[in-house]
Amino acid sequence: MLCSASFSVIRLIFFSSIRNRDCDKQIKVSKNPKNVIKYQTILRSSYLFQGCGIIGALDNVDSWINSVIDNNLWYVSFVFLIGLGIYFTYKLRLAQLTKLPEAMHVTFEGKKVSKKNEAVTSFEAFCIGLGARVGVGNIAGVAAAIAVGGPGAVFWMWIFAIIGAASAFMECTLAQIFKEREKDNPSFFVGGPAFYIKNGLKNHKFAVFLAVLTVITYGIGFVGQQAGNSADAFVNAFDFEHNDIVFGIILTAIAAAIFLGGIKRIAKASYYVVPAMAICWLVLCLILVLINYDQIWNAITLIVGDAFDPADWVSTTDSLFGGALGMVILTGLRRGVFSNEAGIGSVPNVASTANVKHPVKQGLIQSMGVLIDTLVVCSATAFVILTYSDFDVLIQAGSTKAALVQDVMGESFLDDAAKYVVSIFLVVFAFSSLIGYYSISENNVKFLTDNKMYTRALQALIIAVVFFSSVVPINLVYDLCDVFMACMGIFNMIAVAMLAKYAFIAFRDYFRQKEAGVAQPEFCSDTLKDAGLDTSGITVWDKGMAASYSDDERPVVED
């Protein structure tokens, strides 16, 4: 009984900081007297702890991180992510758009699913990368962007996605160039920012720092964030006793089954889950938008118009340029990067595992993933919200995040079923992100140590984070994730900029071969050496192709 009481007190401490408003809402709408008593008890306990200063202190820390560190740090991150993204776009001659047909071709060519002892295929790497991108940010994140920055934030999400796609090409191409073979299983590859910093920049301390930051950011912060979001969606939709604990156990069990299987099982899960969930969400959004087809033009007008002339209710504080326009732009950047993860060094960890004949293939594929995530999936959610005729009424009522999407869809033929449908999608989207985040974290643990004990420790840690985040969500985690994400963007983009010449040369090499009529371009590190670059850190491409391929003569590429 004492243990039970202690656990209840701990839960009250953590829940009270973020659930006061939820309790107020539940007390008003709940038809179950037992639930009313439960929420009133939690609310009173919350105020008690706030009076003791415990929750107040946490709220003050959260507020300080959000206003002092988070916002200011994103100003710096803005310069690196957007400034360098524009530079990469210029140097690549807008390849993220002009080479889109080639990206689509290489994504779906060849073998789709690898065998048991084979490296991850290009398409599987695409699915894992897209799974990491397509998550809660595509539903709750888009709604939050609109609620905070207005419809114009969607426009800037589009612009930054196009710019970010160039950064994604650069970082994923570099990840392929400087990838390594796993020591225990040479059929598999590992790579990412830590690897191209170590092998390209020859800076081991910087590489270790970024590897640790990546594990903390994705293995703990982002995993906890996704699990917490999916748990909240489930709890709000399905009301029964101890529903949070039940769902936490279910999600943890599924996560354990996947994570303990390693990268191969993750690839298999992503192969089936990601395309199916994205297509289902797009179909549902398309149906809802077509029902309100007469509002489509109005939605477009809102997005474009408010991008430069924000609505009156958009906040003018804590913005990049000191006004509402700055808030719209910064919101578009933050929510866009949170959704598509371009330039922050996450997806290169996945792209490096693919077995391809040329690094540029994964650069093109993952660049397309950024566009799909933002221009397609995020836009679908945005248009569902903005084609709703009483959009301003919902905003003024304080609807945001998943609740805003649920309210809008609840006015359609879905009616009361909307909250269940949105909750299920949120759970599946969050789960797909968990798959990608684990893959990223495991990759960086392997960089730090060859001891498999630490990989098992990571698996145990992430499984524990999934469970505890499902039953004890903490608001502070969300702001910390934003801080870590900004740091990842700054340090990763610095490394990418310093190694940019490698990616530019590989890009020219690939398309020169295509222009010469070579159907399957193959890469050799000699191409980089001939350009005067240091290739001592490149260990996979010395034979003109990944070592698992035959030693056929590589086509000669003239400079």
The stretch 408-434 carries a mean pLDDT of 82
Q: Which residues of 271-302 are buried (b: 16+ CB within 10 A; e: fewer)?
A: bebbbebbeebeebbeebbeebeebeeebbeb
Report, in this order, helix, strand and coil percent for the chain, each rounded to 5.
Answer: 75, 0, 25
How many CB atoms sit inside 10 A of residue 241's CB? 9
* Residue 35 scores a pLDDT above 60: no
Amino acid at 540: V
pLDDT of residue 64: 53
Supply 122's token pair: 């290009």
Mean pLDDT of the chain: 76
Mean pLDDT lowest among 42-51, 197-206, 408-417: 42-51
pLDDT of residue 33: 46
The stretch 191-216 carries a mean pLDDT of 93
Rounded Cα–Cα distance for residues 22 and 30 (Å): 11
CA distances from 543 to 192, 505, 518, 549, 551 (A): 21, 18, 18, 9, 7
Residues 6+ apart with CB under 8 A from 19: 42, 46
SS3 135: coil
pLDDT band (50, 70, 90) for residue 36: very low
Helix or strand run (H / E) with residue 437: helix 418-448
CA distances from 216 to 261, 345, 476, 487, 514 (A): 21, 13, 15, 12, 41
More confident residue, 549 or 158: 158
Supply 508's token pair: 């020219």
Kindly report the three-state secondary structure assignment for every residue of 246-277: HHHHHHHHHHHHHHCCHHHHHHHHHHHHHHHH
Judge residue 468's burial from the number of C-beta atoms within 10 Å of its C-beta, 0-12 exposed, 13-18 middle, 19 or more buried: middle
SS3 242: coil
pLDDT band (50, 70, 90) for residue 533: very high
CA geometry: angle 206, 212, 217, nearest 5 deg: 120
Contact 343, 493 (CB under 8 A): yes
More confident residue, 476 or 139: 139
pLDDT digits 0-9 by tens, 39-59 = 444 444 444 444 444 445 545
For residue 314, which phi and psi values (nearest 5 degrees)?
-70, 130
Supply 329's token pair: 């732009």
Contact 418, 412 (CB under 8 A): yes
Contact 180, 389 (CB under 8 A): no
Single pTM value for the model: 0.80
pLDDT digits 0-9 by tens, 385-410 = 988 866 666 666 566 667 788 788 88
- Tell me the pairing of strands 189-190 and 180-181: antiparallel
pLDDT of residue 211: 94
pLDDT of residue 470: 74
pLDDT of residue 39: 45
Contact 360, 117 (CB under 8 A): no
pLDDT band (50, 70, 90) for residue 115: low
* Residue 26 scores a pLDDT above 90: no
pLDDT band (50, 70, 90) for residue 480: confident
The stretch 229-258 carries a mean pLDDT of 76
Amino acid at 376: V
Query: Domain 68-522: which CATH class?
Result: mainly alpha
Contact 313, 155 (CB under 8 A): no
The stretch 207-225 carries a mean pLDDT of 88
Q: Is the C-alpha dihedral spanning 523, 529, 533, 539 positive or negative?
A: positive
How many CB atoms sit inside 10 A of residue 472's CB? 17
Residues 6+ apart with CB under 8 A from 144: 335, 400, 401
Supply 433's token pair: 């992100």
Rounded Cα–Cα distance for residues 8 and 49 (Å): 13
Percent of the chain with pLDDT over 90: 26
pLDDT band (50, 70, 90) for residue 16: very low
Q: Is the C-alpha dihedral spanning 260, 265, 269, 274 positive or negative?
A: positive
pLDDT band (50, 70, 90) for residue 12: very low
For residue 120, which phi and psi values (nearest 5 degrees)?
-60, 135
pLDDT band (50, 70, 90) for residue 504: very high
Q: Is the C-alpha dihedral spanning 124, 125, 128, 133 positive or negative?
A: negative
Alpha-carbon Rg for the chain in angstroms: 24
| Domain residue extents for the chain | 1-52, 68-522
Residues 6+ apart with CB under 8 A from 279: none
CA geometry: angle 297, 304, 330, nearest 5 deg: 140
Residues 6+ apart with CB under 8 A from 3: none
Supply 230's token pair: 């999916």
Side-chain half-sphere of 555: how many Cα atoms within 13 Å?
19
Side-chain half-sphere of 327: how many Cα atoms within 13 Å?
22
* Residue 100 scores a pLDDT above 90: yes
